[in-house]
Amino acid sequence: MHRHELEFEQTRTTILIGRGLLGRAHELLVAEAGLAPEERIYLAIDSGPEGIVADRHGRVLEAALGEQGGLARGTFEALESAKSMETVERIWDDLLAAGIDRRGLMVALGGGIVCDVAGFAASGWMRGIDLVLAPTTLLCMVDAAIGGKTGVNRPLADGGLGKNLVGAFWPAKLVICDCDVLATLGPREFKAGLAECLKHALIDGEAAMNAFEGDLPAVLERDLDAMPDFVARSAGVKTSIVQRDPRELGERALLNLGHTYAHALESNVDLGLLHGEAVALGLVAACRAARAAGLLSGDELEDRVRRLLERCGLPSSLSAGVRIDLGALRDVMRLDKKSLGGRVRLVLPRGIGQIEVVEGLPEDVVDAGWSAILAGD
């Protein structure tokens, strides 16, 4: 079992990565999160496609926690439209009905949407209750569950979604990454998680990129014995950065590589992109924008990113015939949390392991990124 520790102001997050961990949930909560016998627990569970997360992994978790008194649960469909204040208020109603007080514990089992929403609900209930996350997607294990960010979307005037415009920093006490759950993750969702793993490798450096490429054959075969090392390596990149900059005042912004483009794409709900698919496109766009800005001298990095995305089964351009409104996407980019005063800030690569935040870029540089994924050239 791999262990990462993350100090976040007054909170310590322990991240455990291995196999068979859900079945040991009570033991781990007592040992790592200080669970007391009288504490009430609320389980926020992602139903998963055809109910698989709730029916299979939820039952394992509930059985492991069966000796704990005062166990309540709520099940949620992990859709971007459900990442809303309405869902948060539903959770708060459940917490009230279950008698969850300030000593209660929120445990979220699911992907990034459920963990974000449950985390935000935990941050506000009685001014904050303890949080434990048990991610069931690769993307959530290496990214969404780490670092304390929680939040919900807000509708935009044009009918799109403003990603994570409302939220709070509320770190989990414990993150349980049981790689066995990845066996039931849908192929599309599994591949989507690889985009964040590639992003972390790009940020970390050449050794991490080589390790990513070397691990990819076993990972794509869903070799569960190979997954803990792979997940731990990627999660470790984010953990190290967040440790140095917990509130995104500097270096943590580098983790948004490709995300300004990705969030703009996700705001167009008609595209139907998963977050990881949007990030994949965003990485290509960031490489092209970096070239247009004079940060990269050639197309070698963009070509390498495209090849790796294609090996992962991820998009490197939008499908032929897809039409998007660039003006609307630019407007969304100005609303992005990384923007300041309406000025778009992009996280761009100078090279592998050389990532920086750039602001005040001319519109043609930003649009160069869009051209990379529209034309797919």
- The packing angle between helices 187-204 and 206-220, to 10°, is 160
**From 40, 200, 259, 288, active-site residue:** 259
Q: State the catalytic residue, choosing from 40, 149, 173, 191.
A: 149
Candidates 83, 191, 238, 291; catalytic one: 238
Is 256 noted as a catalytic residue in this protein?
yes
Using DSSP bridges, classify how beta strands 345-351 and 130-135 pair: parallel, antiparallel or unpaired: unpaired
210 is catalytic: no
259 given a catalytic annotation: yes
Active site residue 127: yes
Q: Which residues contact 32 (CB under 8 A, 6 or more apart)?
A: 14, 16, 173, 174
263 is catalytic: yes
Which of 200, 233, 252, 291 is an active site residue?
Answer: 252
| Residue whose entry in the numeric block shows the structure tokens 């964040």 | 196
Among the listed residues 256, 288, 291, 306, the single catalytic one is 256
Q: Angle, to 10 degrees, between the axis of helix 363-375 and the axis of helix 259-267?
A: 70
Q: Catalytic residue among 38, 50, 67, 127, which?
A: 127
Whether 345 sits among the annotated catalytic residues: the reply is: no
For this structure, is 291 an active site residue? no
- Catalytic option among 62, 248, 266, 277: 248
Q: Which of 40, 57, 233, 263 is catalytic?
A: 263
Decide if 26 is catalytic.
no
User: What sign does the CA torsion over 150, 152, 156, 160 have?
Assistant: positive
Strand partners, 42: 72, 106
Q: Does residue 275 have an active-site annotation?
A: yes
- Residue 2 annotated in active site: no
Q: Which of 191, 275, 291, 337 is catalytic?
A: 275
Contact yes or no for 172/148 (Cβ under 8 A) = yes
Q: Which positions are annotated as active-site residues? A: 127, 149, 196, 238, 248, 252, 256, 259, 263, 275
